[in-house]
């Protein structure tokens, strides 16, 4: 199960690192505690982690827009930074989809089919 949840853990650690650059200790601690929520085998725990990952992806997109605008305004190179942050945002969002994997759904008692099926 740890391998299947590895993207979730990685995304939480990346969010903690992001928040540490902005000196937001509460968000750092919450990001670091997020993987511990995975130890709770309840549907609400899985949904909470999913929601935080989606919010995290939105934060990465917000950061991408802010930094891209700032770099464009100063004439600095921004394309590589935007590509990296875009990939990080996509990976963070995709991590929320881990809970659609049948074994993970079973582990958290989420039912047999993903939403929309």
pLDDT tens for each residue of 69-90 = 999 999 999 999 999 999 999 9
> In this structure, are residues 86 and 2 in contact, taking their beta carbons and an 8 Å threshold?
no
In this predicted structure, the answer to whether residue 33 has a pLDDT above a threshold of 70 is yes
**Mean pLDDT of the region 52-57:** 98
């Amino acid at each position: 199960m740890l391998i299947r949840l590895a993207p979730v853990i990685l995304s939480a650690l990346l969010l903690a690192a992001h928040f540490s650059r902005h000196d937001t200790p509460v968000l750092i601690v919450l990001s670091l505690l997020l993987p511990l929520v995975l130890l709770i085998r309840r549907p609400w725990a899985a949904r909470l982690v999913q929601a935080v990952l989606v919010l995290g992806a939105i934060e990465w997109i917000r950061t991408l827009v802010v930094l891209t605008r700032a770099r464009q305004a100063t004439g600095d190179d921004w394309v590589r930074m935007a590509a990296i942050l875009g990939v990080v945002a996509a990976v963070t969002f995709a991590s929320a989809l881990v809970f659609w994997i049948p074994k993970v759904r079973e582990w958290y008692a989420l039912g047999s089919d993903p939403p929309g099926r």
